[in-house]
Chain A
Amino acid sequence: MRTGVLKSWGYGATGGALAILFLFPLLWSGWASLRTGTGFGLENYDRLFTSDNGIRPHHVINSITVSALTVGGTLLVSTLGGYAFGRFRFPGKETLFLVTLAILMVPYATILIALYVLLGWLGLQDSLIGLSLVLIMFQLPFSLFMMRNSFEAIPLELEESAQVDGCTTVTTLTRILLPAVRPGLITVGLFAFLTSWNEFFAPLILLNSTDKFTTTLAVVNMRTASHGSIDYAALEAGVVVMAVPCLILFAFMQRSYVRGFISGALKG
């Protein structure tokens, strides 16, 4: 009826206005990146890829490597850990969980030099593996929380019936539980990818050789063109290039990660 139509107009208008506001910066970024001195074109992207300190194929490969390692490692550790926290009782459980959450309370600047030293002791300095291990660690609070809640949300009957059928914990986990926590896994994987793909400060400090640099480092190097003057256009081109893979992933996974949030954050 009347109020119904008005309400849905109100919803549509508010939602639409907000959506435009939220999408605007990204859209503008794309537009600004195409703008050259004389109109529009791909000149800025060209500069981004061909200038002396621009993006090279090895940058992209390094970024992909770090992201793959981080996503894989995070999924592995947080799934096993989430299973442990969600389904078992063991000594030190509360403490370990709290210490993991404490990772959120320590800023980069504090811990980075100590991490650099630590990686040196392990022989992992200036390596993509060392960097990935650090990034996995920073992902643990969120991903462990998500996976724990995902496992907790699974009805006990499911697991018990599997055990009655004679499954060990391992087969229970892989055959029965993993499919049930798939949304959580996707969410954790997505966030791990986003962080590792876009990470700037950790690779800057922990990597030394130019052939190990990631794409983000190359883009930020574009920030200061000649003598400290900002090259805004190339910068926006860099932002767009970095965002495109993430946007594509988002588009494909929209439903999954929303469900992942639902299953993962339910228990607050």
Chain B
Amino acid sequence: MTTILTPPTHTPARPVRAGRRGLTRARRRSLLGALYAAPTAAMVGAFFVVPLLLVVWMSLHKWPLLAPATYNAPDNYTNISENQLIGSAIAFTLKYTLVMTVLLFGLAFGLALLVQRRRTGVGFFRTAFFLPMAVGFASASLLFLGLLSDEIGPVNEVLRTLGLVDGYVSWTSGSSTTALSSAVLLVLWRFAGFNMLILLTGLQAIPLEIYEAARIDGASRWQIFRRVTLPLMRPTIALVLTLMTTGSLLAFDQFWILTRGGPDNSTTSLVMVIYREAFIRLDLGSAAAISVALLAVLVVVNIIQLGVLRRRSS
């Protein structure tokens, strides 16, 4: 990329009308910034905004796969309430998000606290906790499918030898509780390390002097944690919580592969319903409508979360 502009030291001191040789420094800077951001804008515009607009457009039509589309707004949206699966899917997705966020956050924070100081073995521990990220999520789901299975998984054998379980048990489809637990366990295993690293950086950004000062003032460990650590970690915590809640609300793979939404639709998430509308019922308009509604909810939720973050950290 070549620049057409002269080095800053030759900039005129006062603003000049826009022209080839007379841009102000600020304007030139701004143009440069836009140029550097152009590839991003192109990628996001072409591969995200355009398809998204198409999805919004589709949500206003009855959109058969090959035949021409017919305008039918707002039917796709009003029909959402008639969908038999939507109610339980929303309830389940919210419940799952709550359970997952609490557990995953607790575990990730605990791990971060454990490995924050330089000690022997800390590198090994950090790697061990982060290692599950090496496995793709679909692969990890298949891994757990085998791990929890009766056929080759060790879990049932171990429980049987310990006498905790009698006979045949299916973890991924035995009951709604075990199915949910299997999915939760999978996600905890895979993502605890990742979130641990993010929280770790927040922890390590707190200068040691602050801890020193608090200790000199006689604060207990718990008080230090509550009054010093947590407030200073607020932005990091907010980021982690945002990622977790968004990820949970959009959960799909783990249920598709591990539990197939069962047993008895007890682990059917919202995105599974979208998938079903699009690819099983072949009703693209309806799937688009549910997606747009979900996106709207997520945008609102994230705006609220970011708003809370901004107010608190200032």
**Chain A residues packing against B (C-beta within 8 Å):** 8, 11-12, 14-16, 18-19, 22-23, 25-26, 28-29, 32, 35, 76-78, 80-81, 83-85, 87-93, 96, 99-111, 113-115, 117-118, 133-134, 136-137, 140, 144, 163-164, 166, 168-170, 194-195, 197-201, 216, 219-220, 223, 230, 232-233, 235-236, 238-239, 242-243, 246-247, 249-251, 254-255, 258, 261-262, 264-268
Contact = CB atoms under 8 A, between A and B. Distances in A.
A140 B43 contact: yes
B230 to A, nearest CB: 13
23 contacts: A11-B114, A15-B121, A26-B135, A77-B39, A88-B29, A89-B33, A96-B37, A96-B41, A110-B288, A114-B52, A118-B50, A118-B51, A137-B43, A170-B1, A200-B136, A200-B139, A220-B138, A232-B146, A232-B149, A246-B135, A247-B131, A250-B130, A265-B201
Contacts of B222: none
Contacts of B52: 106, 111, 114
B40 A239 contact: no
A26 B299 contact: no
B125 A18 contact: yes
Contacts, number: 276
Nearest to A219: B139
Q: Which 5 A-B pairs have the closest CB atoms?
A: A198-B136, A88-B33, A268-B235, A114-B51, A81-B40
A104 B152 CA distance: 36
B201 A105 contact: no
Interface string B130-146: 11111111110011111
Contacts of A136: 43
Given A96-B40, A261-B201, A268-B239, 10 more contacts: A16-B121, A19-B129, A25-B144, A29-B143, A110-B274, A133-B47, A166-B9, A236-B152, A239-B135, A254-B126
Interface stretch (B66-74, B80-88, B172-180, B192-200): B192-200
Looking at A78, A89, A166, A198, the one whose CB has the most chain B CB atoms below 10 A away is A198
Q: Describe A's contact surface by its main secondary structure.
A: helix
A197 B136 contact: yes
A14 B122 CA distance: 12
Given A90-B37, A262-B201, A242 B51 contact: no
B126 A258 contact: yes
Interface string B274-312: 110011000010011001001100110010000001000
Contacts of A254: 123, 126-127
Chain B contact-residue range equals 35 or more
B165 interface: no
B181 interface: no
A107 B115 contact: no
B40 A23 contact: no
A265 B119 CA distance: 23
Nearest to B53: A114
A93 B37 contact: yes
Interface string B142-158: 11111101011010000
Contacts of A198: 135-139
B225 interface: no
B246 A105 contact: yes
Nearest to A263: B201
A166 to B, nearest CB: 6
A170 B2 CA distance: 8
B121 A236 contact: no
B16 interface: no
Contact of B252 (A109, A199, A262): A109
A75 B154 CA distance: 41
Contacts of A235: 142, 145-146
B204 A262 contact: yes
A30 to B, nearest CB: 11
A14 to B, nearest CB: 7
A144 B35 CA distance: 15
Contact of B193 (A22, A29, A169, A200): A22
A114 B29 CA distance: 36
A184 B302 CA distance: 25
Contacts of A134: 47
B143 A246 contact: no
Looking at A81, A83, A134, A164, the one whose CB has the most chain B CB atoms below 10 A away is A81
B274 A107 contact: yes
A264 to B, nearest CB: 8
Given A88-B29, A247-B134, A266 B205 contact: yes
Contacts of A268: 202, 234-236, 238-239, 309
A78 to B, nearest CB: 7
Contact of B239 (A88, A195, A265): A265
